[in-house]
Amino acid sequence: MNAPGDGSSEALLHAMAHAISYREGLLGRPIPPQIGVDEATRRLGGALNPRGRAAVDVIDTMVAEADAGLLQITSPGFFGYVIGGSHPVGVAADLLCSAWGQNTAYAATTPGVVAMENAVCKWVIDLLGLPEACGAGLVTGATLGNTVGVMAARDALLRRVNWDVEARGLFGAPEIQVVIGAEAHSATAAALRYAGLGSERVHRIAADAQGRMRVDEYRRMMAGLSGPILVILQAGHINSGAFDPFAELIPIAREKSAWVHVDGAFGLWVHAVPELAGRLAGVADADSWAVDLHKWLNAPYDAGMVMTRDRAPLVAAMSAHGDYLPEHGAIWDPSDSVPELSRRARGVPSYAILRHLGREGVLEMVARHCALAEQAAGELSAIAGLTVMNDVVSNQIAICCGDGERGDAMTQAVLARVQQDGRVYPTHGVWRGRHIIRVSICNHATSTVEIAELVTVLGDAWRQVQSEIQTE
Ligand SMILES: Cc1ncc(COP(=O)(O)O)c(C=O)c1O
């Protein structure tokens, strides 16, 4: 509680004032941090003070010392990795989420926030066009969403061959064959490791030029497999944004009674837009999906979701019910679908964002980002010497400069200049043997203004790098 006169309410008001001033000042700030981790540690680290300090002082000093070390991820000109912009309505709700301090394990204990989280699960399943009866859990992000999906798959696949993995573990269990694309995101390899299936003991299927799983190779591989099979597909390649050809791949998995999990961290949101959903045709036929809310929905960190067609394996894999805990009710208990028992009500910010945007607002945002990506790709590829390496099918653009090794060095030099300029902020990648500049359009506020700035800054940096090389 905040006791009158103890300074705690003042601290909260200061925190809000700092938050507002930070967010309102974003456009005027360079995007990269102005100090490195050593200087930040010098300012913020050190020994713990033996005596306490006034709450307001702590908040004010913390902000003053951390400020220069902040990366302006929430700026509409931030195009790095695949990162949402922490929507202001979600940030406001997040503050309440902390203030309420609800331990979101049981419906009977914290019904207010559980009702909101259940609504988020229902709405997101509906928006994404997945089966209405799906089980769902709100996790920290797609890495954990993939891990939980793989664990549910592990439960279901082994149960079919009369092996209770939850009770007996994997010691002596029938082997699960794992089929995965050569260019799957590293988070899926981590998920396989965490689930005890191993990241190397997999059948890797070659990728096509966009990083999608090749159907011919997959068909050949599947023909030779028997027993429990887990197929991991991808909706949204980290560099190209491409989607695996679900409509061709999933029916082949069905013939083998395989479990199909889809890593849809950002790309699954494209399925929400009726005009674009065809790009992911067949994705709703999978058995489980992971998606991030902190990416394309722009929820503040951290928020992701796992969904399973059949809820039973999800609960079997996750539920940690102890005798001292409340009885199972008719309503879903959040802790039955996620690895944690105690956790914050991480669905609350997403609830506020979804209510604020409504269905139309979410669809508009995703469609706008896809259209902006096409526009940016068109304008960037019109600049002589710049190549857009991918077919733009979602919000990702992979750009390289010049050719070969020299081109790689130039690409890196161009990116360094662009980042140093500080108005826009793409990041680095390596794809198809080339160093690339990755542009990801994911911020709720990004518009044609930031795209024009991106094209100008990147084009200027490229011309400068070329002219420097010529004068060497
Ligand atoms: C395709 C894909 N899968 C998984 C992840 C990991 O997601 P998270 O960082 O939310 O755990 C990412 C992150 O960019 C991603 O793009």
Cα 188 to averaged position of ligand 1 atoms, centre (Å): 9
Cα 445 to averaged position of ligand 1 atoms, centre (Å): 21
Q: pLDDT at residue 321 above 70?
A: no
CA 442 vs CA 370, 373, 400: distances in Å: 9, 10, 21
- The CA dihedral of 214, 216, 220, 221, to the nearest 10 degrees, is 10
Summary mean pLDDT of the chain: 96
How sure is the predictor about 330, in pLDDT bands with cuts at 50, 70 and 90? low
d(CA 84, CA 445): 10
Do residues 232 and 181 make contact, with C-beta atoms less than 8 angstroms apart? yes
* Mutation pick for ligand 1 pocket among 261, 295, 350, 440 (CB with most ligand atoms within 8 Å): 295
CA 270 vs CA 212, 256, 267, 390: distances in Å: 16, 28, 6, 17
Q: pLDDT at residue 329 above 60?
A: no
Q: Which amino acid is at 295?
A: K
Which fold is adopted by the domain 94-352? Aspartate Aminotransferase; domain 2 (3.40.640)
Q: In the numeric block, which tokens belong to residue 60?
A: 């004010």
Strands (E), 140-202: 177-181
The pLDDT value given to residue 83: 95
Q: In the numeric block, which tokens belong to residue 399?
A: 């750009």
Class (C level, CATH) for 364-471 = alpha beta
Q: Where are the domains of the chain?
A: 8-72, 94-352, 364-471
Q: pLDDT at residue 331 above 90?
A: no
What is the 8-class DSSP label of residue 256? T
Quote the distance between the C-alpha of residue 407 and its chain's center. 30
How does 279-299 read in b/e, with b if 16+ C-beta sit within 10 Å?
Answer: bbebbbbbbbbbbbbbbbbbb
Do residues 332 and 349 make contact, with C-beta atoms less than 8 angstroms apart? no
Q: pLDDT at residue 328 above 80?
A: no
Q: Where are the alpha helices (DSSP H) in 301-403?
A: 311-318, 348-381
Q: Which amino acid is at 297?
A: L
What is the 8-class DSSP label of residue 175? P
Look-up: residue for tokens 């694309």?
181
401 φ, ψ to 5°?
Answer: -110, 140
The pLDDT value given to residue 324: 60
- The percentage of residues in the chain with a pLDDT greater than 90, rounded to a whole number, is 94
Length of the chain: 472
Cα 187 to averaged position of ligand 1 atoms, centre (Å): 6
Q: pLDDT at residue 365 above 60?
A: yes
The pLDDT value given to residue 4: 85
Cα 386 to averaged position of ligand 1 atoms, centre (Å): 27
What is the 8-class DSSP label of residue 335? G
Cβ of 183 below 6 Å from ligand 1? no
Residue nearest to atom 7 of ligand 1 (CA): 142
Cβ of 236 below 6 Å from ligand 1? yes
Cα 323 to averaged position of ligand 1 atoms, centre (Å): 36
Ligand 1 atom having least distance to the Cα of 82: 14
* Mutation pick for ligand 1 pocket among 238, 301, 440 (CB with most ligand atoms within 8 Å): 238
Predicted TM-score of the model (pTM) = 0.96
Q: In the numeric block, which tokens belong to residue 137?
A: 């859990």
Provide mean pLDDT across the span 256-284.
98
Q: In the numeric block, which tokens belong to residue 395?
A: 């919000």
**Each residue of 133-165: pLDDT tens digit?**
999 999 999 999 999 999 999 999 999 999 999
Strands (E), 235-385: 259-263, 288-292, 304-308
Q: pLDDT at residue 236 above 70?
A: yes
Cα 182 to averaged position of ligand 1 atoms, centre (Å): 16
Q: pLDDT at residue 471 above 80?
A: no
Look-up: residue for tokens 């050719």?
403
Ligand 1 atom having least distance to the Cα of 143: 11
Cβ of 297 below 6 Å from ligand 1? no
Q: pLDDT at residue 311 above 60?
A: yes
Three-state SS for 458?
helix
Cβ of 263 below 6 Å from ligand 1? yes
Cβ of 142 below 6 Å from ligand 1? yes
Q: Which amino acid is at 266?
A: F
- Sign, CA dihedral 371-372-377-378, equals positive
